[in-house]
Structure 1
Amino acid sequence: MLTALRSQARSWIAKLLFGLLIVAFAVWGIGDIFNRPQVSEPIVRIGDDFTYSATDFDREMRLALQRLAQIQGMPVSPELFAQFGGAQGLVDQAESKGLLQVYGQRLGFEVPQQAAVQYVESDPQFLNATNRFDRARFEYFLRQLGQSEEQYVAAQQGLLRASYLMSAISGPAIAPTPLVRNVHSFDAEKRQAETVLVPISSITDVAAPDDATLAAWHEEQAARYQSPEYRAGLIVQMAPSDFIQDVAVSDAEIEAEYQARIAEYSTPETRNVEQVVVQDPAIADKIITAVKGGTAFAQAVRDAAQSDPVPLGQVTRERLPADIADAVFALPAGSVSEALKSPFGLHVVFVSAVTPAATKPLADVRGEIRNALAIGRAADAMESVRVQLEDELAAGIPLAEAAEKLSLPQTGFAAIDAAGQDRDGANLGLSADAVALIFETQTGEPGYVKALNDGSYAVAQIDEIVAPALRPLAEVRDQAIADWTLAQQRERARAIADEIAQNVKDGGALKAEADARGFELKSTQLFLRDEGDAANGVTGALARALFQLKQGEVTVGDSSDGAVVARLAAIETADAAAGADAGADVLKQAADRETLALASDIRQSFIAALRTELPLERNDAIWQRAVQSEN
């Protein structure tokens, strides 16, 4: 935790948080982990051919946290990211891609750059209304993605290599027609029901229970009326804010830190760029000649290429493909480039404005630097006190005495539950982490000094644990009466529903039974077996029960409002649901789904086989430590 605190202090900005759904990595790939030397501990290694390091993991987790924060509109910690499987998903995905890459390399399988370019140019998301590659769409997409053309094409090469290899493995898989028909018939069948709700609210004549009845209910339903576990003891906490007032930071130290982190306060040179990409050198020359002769760039492009130039906006050198970046950044404002060649064709670039590199002066960031240095030193001071506290406790000094000796704040509690409340329901003002620590600690000696997620340290001592117990009836009498009454209403509503259902089974009409009792008959929409129609009283459980019946049969279910009598009114088979003309198409869609599922099973089996065939080494402890160090 201290490491994370110091890192936060010296980066000025809190650690980059949740930013990208894992599926985005499956779409865009993580191509930059390939063919690059690693300098940190390997999480995944496949012989000498592939390494996925802690550095790779850290970078990708930060990107994931950052992009998901943008999507969710709120930051989420690395720990939560890991709890939901995000961190392991990154490593699993890197492992799978590494296995495919190494296997492909051993087969001598490569994807030419030009093939990746053609793949990009045929991507439907980049095609215009005439089904041709639209560079404007592509450029906008790259700006949103934050990648250059070169990076994106390289990533697609890696994805194509894996895709082609997996297609060769699973491409021939076709789901058998009988399986498709059976699965489709099961999934797509729909049913309709008539329902009658016997509402709880209609049962109004339930008498209050006598004392003996209520006492028996209280005993039978003891779990409803138990008090929570309570704990009594003491907790000692320390946070950086407890030490920061004693920290001094000199001007010389601020100056030195500013110089050490000058890159953080510097912005690179940018240029406002427009471009057009053509394939014909004659067209490129015509545009260049026209612009140099005084024609506006946009007009020159329209005249020669019959299209509009693509505005790239303010770009840094790194945002441009390496093939053209140096030439573009050598141009002064208001000038046009020569024809610059890249895998996509000939670029003609016009620079309309140049923004020089700039650096924030020390005066503008002095306060930030001072605060960050102070937090870092407060963390160091807190760490020193933590060590002293652990030494005191190890020597047998009582926690209260050790806290007083070190001038640490301590909070005693006579009774606290897992929600952080006392017996009267008042919140004791402890964080969720602190309360969790209290309930992790056993009675007797103090527990260990633990780092909490908010950057503080805490240690608890538990003097007494009061186990959950049945509250006296006098204390919960009103609630017990309300619960008993509701149970009686439900029981009687169910009895009425059972009576109606039996009468229908004996030949009665459901509508007549409902009318005789003043209840409403409803007709549901057609529903699938796992959906039901909640608006008309059919829960998921009741829907599944109706799918076990023959048409005209009746059953009874429960809802939050009462008991529901349901008669199966209609069955719509999968073919009927699709319509006579659409049946073949729907069946084809079902076949496609099952074929995809079968292909997925084959791919997973192939990856599993590669794990045993190739010299795979994996150390999950490294990424787990990395996640913990971020908290």
Structure 2
Amino acid sequence: MLESMRNAAQGVVGKAIMTVVMGLIIVSFVIWGVGDMLRGFTSSTVASVGSQKISAEDYHSAYQRMLQQYQRRLRQPFTNEQARAIGLDREALQRLLSEAAMDEEARKLGLSVSDEALRSMIVSNPTFQDKSGAFDPQKFADVLRNNDMNERMFVSDLRKTALRQFIVAALTAGIAAPKAEVKAEADFQGQTRSIDYFTLPASAAGEIAPASEETLKSYFNDRKSQYRAPEYRAMDVVSLEPETIANPDEVSDADAQAAYDKVAGKDPRYGSPEKRDLQQILFPNEAEADAAEARIKAGASFDDIVKERSLGPDQTDIGVTTKDAIIDKGEAEAVFALPQGGVSDVLKSQFGPVIVRVKGVTPSSVKPYSEVAEAIKRQVSASRAGDKIQAIHDKIEDARVAGKSLADAAKDVGLTAQTIPAVDAEGKDPAGAPVNLPDKTDLLRAAFASDVGLDEAPLQTKDGGFVWYSIGKIEPSHDRGFEEAKPEVEAQQRADEIDKALVAKADDLVKQLRAGGTVADVAKSVGAEAKTAGDIHRDDKSLPESVVAAIFREPADGAGSAASPDGRAIFKITSDKTPAVDFADLRVKGMAQQLDASTRDSVLEQYVEALRRSLGVVVHPEVLQSAEGS
């Protein structure tokens, strides 16, 4: 709950927050459903916070929604016993208690939402609007009916949620992470190390004798769950995307030219945007910034100011960036209006007044219209395909209602069904190869929540298309026997033995480095090639992740080893640097924003916990246990 509340509090109060509030509720309805899961259940109270009571029905519904969510994730039954073992029952109760505390505080503060404001929230929400953007009462009624809601229930929930959002917005507005925390995080992320290293190949492990049948069986028995065969599903898939029915011949040259003019130099498919290599001086106050600006206009250079303030490149260089990458749009407009070598007036940034210099300009590279005309026309045609897609959608749905298979319904409108013999929940076939699927993540999630023979509604894609699927066969997940898994067992057992041997050899070589040996000499002793790697960050991708992690686990002048795809890397750290933090740097600004959000979350959590303590929480265990059900 706290996460959703914090997210909603990021915007301005008013129409934006109304849309967010409605979005949160509608998303929860779509994901969980709000059916009356306790028809006939008693109205006993599970818990109370102040004067707010949580009924057994409210708790049961919330608990069941979470249970169903886990079942969908695991794609298998999830029992009450399993739920209790991971604390799902406690999590459901804690969420309800926190919401009740917020509701009680809203009541005590005398907050209210007018019926007119609630009406505005509803009619302005896209979920309830027709294609013209007007409120559609029928869509509103359909959504409520499909989720077993009536208007009274819906409005009541909406009113409570809106009031919670207003409290959150007031509580968290203006809260930011301490500057010291931002610096500590920037230091951590900005730290770099350089190493000398070499790779000890797998062959250095020496001769590894084949394991006996008894050893392999023992190895298999200790790791049976690792060799369990996943569930596979056979299905037919039909994809209807704007690109599928796009017809470039329908688009005039004039329309295509107009579309090209809007994206040329901005869309990477048709050219790259302008880039600028920037430097800046960040000032502690406006007075010093204004004085520096006056000196530059009087003849001093940007470099003169940098030298006077004893600033190094790590404090002034922003680097090459695009206009869109600059967070402050006013600053971006001013900087990109300067010529190469130009120096700005004092600009206001998030971290204080700055003066910016343009070191270099890389002009946008624009592909000529003649070169991309066909692609532009196809894009324009695809953007106009909405009505055609809806018409084809309706024809396929009518054919399915009439009893035709998905493949035959698709064939009637000129589409071809993709037949998938077997795919697991990760999108791989039995051989472990990835299966090419449209809208892959959403399709797999939906397909593995479906069943054989169910006539499921199509998925709607982000670009306005549809994906239909029909499950033909399910091959359940099952434990494989030793003989079936033996090839994998042999390979894994041998790999483990090789790794053990390499670790032992690597430990001896690392001891030599720590005793003063050089990487060049130690590498030569085992016939390996010594290499260097510089300016390695914690998220560096030039080296294996395991090696990077090991490098930053060691002391600044340490040595160590880590597994790598080719064997085992042996390294010695040759330098350790942590640059000064530039709070105007785009990377640091982004980091600060993330920490700000985390700080707001923490404040909100503490606030809700304090509310609960001051209001008093009473839980009735016997009613709680009964409400969970069997």
TM range (shorter): 0.3 to 0.5
The two structures have a TM-score, normalised by structure 2, of 0.40
Normalising by structure 1, what TM-score?
A: 0.40
